[in-house]
Amino acid sequence: MPQAMIEKNSPMDRIRQRQRLSLRPNHAGGRGATGLSRDEEKLVRQILTEPMDYIASEEFEKPDAEKTIYDDAPEVRRPDVSWYRPLMDDLSPGSDRYVRTNGTVLLTAAEERVLFLQYNYARYRVRQLQLEIGNDEPDPDQAAALLKWYRTAVKYREQISETNLALVLAMAKRTRMSEVDFADLVSEGNMALLRSVDKFDCGRGFKFSTYACRAILKAFSRQGMKLSKYRQRFPTDFDPALEKSNHLENVRATHEQECAEEVRHIVINNDADLTDVERTVINHRFGIDNTSDGDSNPLTLEQVGQIIGVTKERVRQIQNKALDKIRIALEESIKHTNEAAEATSPN
């Protein structure tokens, strides 16, 4: 892209400026020439690339704002979220583990206001440093302050979101969307929760859950609509059977067909030395016909007995004796075939 086509202070311009970022040395010394590690310098470039958004408050403009918001404010307990990861690993259908959220913290409106003021003030300070630095190169003091307030904002964002994880689970449990996987639903709800943390204005006097619940439900609705459109476009569900090879079934079927043809050949050519009565029984019982018309319909023991003038029990005995002869002949044929194959093999 030509240089003239990139507007000053545009996103592309900011990215180009940060790629050329070289922190000015700190005369007070420190780690290396700049006092920052390579990873910290990379994070500084990333922070300066995108303007930091924040929710403004009159408290930020006061002279002692930092002391009032952090030092004088009561400490808010952090929740215990050790239950969350094992819970997400066991979201089997019908499981009710997600309702046992021991360790959650229910915040009062005053505690929520403290957290959101601390979170937004940190973002406010990051934005002020971004404006102060502009397109110039930040010195190590500015970079250190930038990292400090950015990490403070991340810390309070995590605390607020972890405190409200149970809210997402409760909303997902009440949502009747059987076609959407529960884990996917929770994932969409968590993303909506994070966006709500960034946009919530505690100065309006509402509880955060009131604002976040609506955003989470809208995220669930979008997920359902997305899945519905996907299924309209791709109506065929995934069939695991299609991913399974049928090679073994084909091999078995081919082997059975070859054996059946070999047995038919043995009976027609009488390679098993069957008597006339045995051949008659086998031909009628299994529908084997040596004519050009193909196989005939098989008959029952009683029908064959009526043809040759014996009882059906006698027909069964003749049939079993003939089958034994055929089996021996078939085994001999397979043995000779294998020997011939081995003899012609190059190895």
Closest CA to 331 of 262, 241, 244: 262
298-302 CB contacts, 8 Å cutoff, 24+ apart: none
255: which residues sit within 8 A by CB, 6+ positions away? none
Host domain of residue 329: 247-344
Quote the pLDDT of residue 235: 66
Residue with tokens 């920052």: 36
Angle at the Cα of 280 from the Cα atoms of 275 and 282, rounded to 5 degrees? 95
CA distance 84 to 35: 38
List Cα–Cα distances, 161 to 105, 131, 217, 225, 262, in angstroms: 11, 28, 16, 26, 74
* Domain shared by 201 and 251, yes or no: no
Quote the pLDDT of residue 346: 64
Quote the pLDDT of residue 178: 66
* Domain shared by 10 and 129, yes or no: yes
DSSP structural state of residue 211? H
* Domain shared by 152 and 257, yes or no: no
* Domain shared by 46 and 131, yes or no: yes
Q: How far is CA 237 from the centre of its chain?
A: 16
> Looking at 163, 188, 208, which one is the last position of a domain?
163
All residue ranges of the chain with pLDDT < 50 are 1-6, 26-30, 32-33, 92-99, 292-294
H runs (alpha helix) in the chain: 11-19, 38-49, 65-66, 84-88, 109-133, 140-163, 165-174, 182-199, 208-233, 247-269, 276-286, 301-308, 312-344
> Looking at 129, 163, 197, which one is the last position of a domain?
163
CA distance 54 to 121: 8
* Domain shared by 216 and 189, yes or no: yes
Quote the pLDDT of residue 99: 46
CA distance 127 to 209: 27
* Domain shared by 74 and 103, yes or no: yes
* Domain shared by 114 and 229, yes or no: no
Structure tokens at 229: 């459109």
Q: What is the pTM of this model?
A: 0.58
Secondary structure (H, E, C), 25-48: CCCCCCCCCCCCCHHHHHHHHHHH
**pLDDT by residue (tens digit) across 74-133?**
888 888 877 777 766 665 444 444 445 556 778 888 999 999 999 999 999 999 999 999
* Domain shared by 188 and 285, yes or no: no
Residue with tokens 């545009």: 10
Can you say whether the dihedral through the CA atoms of 15, 19, 20, 25 is positive or negative? Answer: positive
* Domain shared by 138 and 187, yes or no: no
Angle at the Cα of 201 from the Cα atoms of 196 and 203, rounded to 5 degrees? 155
Q: Are 51 and 81 in contact (CB under 8 A)?
A: no
Burial of 158 (0-12, 13-18, 19+ CB in 10 A): middle
Q: Are 213 and 68 in contact (CB under 8 A)?
A: no
In a domain, 169, yes or no: no
> Looking at 244, 276, 303, which one is the last position of a domain?
244
* Domain shared by 71 and 201, yes or no: no
Quote the pLDDT of residue 32: 45
**pLDDT by residue (tens digit) across 173-212?**
887 776 777 888 888 999 999 999 999 999 898 899 999 9
* Domain shared by 139 and 46, yes or no: yes
